[in-house]
Each structure stands twice: as C-alpha cells, then as structure tokens.
Amino acid sequence: METSNARLMKMAEESLNGRWGLAIGTFFVYLIIITSIQLSSQLFPFIGLITILIIGPLTLGLAIFSLNISRDNNPQTDQLFAGFQNFGNSIVAYFLMGLFIVLWTLLLIIPGIIAALSYSMTFYIIADDDTIGPMEAIDKSKEMMDGYKWKYFRLNLRFFGWALLCILTLGIGFLWLIPYINVSVAHFYDDLKKNQNNKHQEW
C-alpha cells in the first residue's frame, strides 16, 4: 500500500530531526559550487562545459546523501562528492535526461513536464545501484513512475507555498526547504521501490 504524501513529508521531518545542521550545510556547499560555476560561466563561456561535467556527479551525490538521511545510514557532507566515483554514468544520465526533456518540450510543454516526472527517479536509482547504466536507470525510472507521476507532481506542489514564503525571507528559507524537499523525494523513491517489490511478489 502506497504511503500518502503527507506521511512522506512527516517521515522526512523525522529523518532530518537532529540533522538539520548537517543537511543545511551540505546543501549550502552544493549551492555555493553551482552558483560560483554559473556566475563564472557568464564571464568565461568555456566554463559552461565544466558545469556539465560537475552538475551530473553533484546531482548523484545529493541523491546519495538524501537517501542516507532518509534511511538513517550515516549521512556525511562528503557524500555530496560521491557521485564523482561514478563520473561517467552520472554525466551521461544528466545529459540524456536533459536531452530527452528538451526534445519532448519542443513538441509541447505538457509532454516535457511528463518526461521530467518520468525520469525523476533516475539519480536515486543510480545511487542505489552504481553498476546500472544511465539508459537503464532512465528506463527503470519510467517504469517506477508509471501510475505515480501525478502523485509525485502533487508532492512537489505541496512545497510551493513554502517556496513563496522562502522568497519573502530573501531566499534564506530555501536552506531549510531544499533539504526538506530532497529527503521527502528520497522517501518517495523508497516507497515506490517497496510498492514495486510487492507487485513483483504478487506476480
């Protein structure tokens, strides 16, 4: 039986209890790195290539860190850089996801959104199994999200009001909101995985 989005968010709060400092610090490091690269790329266009080479592994690192928080599995800030140990797969996965989403968006906005929802578990899948290939991870994400895209969309929609409040704090509130969102999504992934395993057992 699937867990409600409200319960997943509550589980994220429980996972972050006593770890808010660690989570905020880790996501702050991520934001500093990404912001610095993006600002630099405006001055030096060739740095844009470096951005592509870094965002993929960092995104994977965030998934690893978020899963470790959600699973109470000794989360550490240096896990943010664990994605570089799976450098090739993380870059290719990031590139393919972006390419497919752009291609679908060229057709219409809605197909692009649906594609983004379908591929949303890709980095969590790679974080769970570092032997899986990027295309296989994307396909597995599509399979896992079949029938759950609307639920995932509604989960993200629940944070919209919080995001507006964060804007009123000049963005400072995002230091709390971003970890909250990511750990909630990590719980969403684990719930999907559990439901999928249960279905296979029923077969």
Instruction: Report how far apart, in Å, the C-alpha atoms of 128 and of each of 63, 71, 131, 158 are.
Output: 9, 12, 9, 26
CB atoms inside a 10 Å sphere around CB 1: 7
Q: Going residue by residue through the chain (203 aa), what tens digit of pLDDT does each one get? A: 678 999 999 999 999 999 999 999 999 999 888 888 777 766 666 666 677 788 999 999 999 999 999 999 999 999 999 999 999 999 999 999 999 999 988 878 888 899 999 999 999 999 999 899 999 999 999 999 999 999 999 999 999 988 998 888 888 888 899 999 999 999 999 999 988 776 655 44
Distance separating alpha carbons of residues 119 and 123, to the nearest angstrom: 9
Q: Look at the pTM and tell me if it is higher than 0.85.
A: yes
Return the pLDDT at 203: 44
17 — alpha (psi -120 to 50), left (phi > 0) or beta?
A: beta
Distance separating alpha carbons of residues 69 and 24, to the nearest angstrom: 12
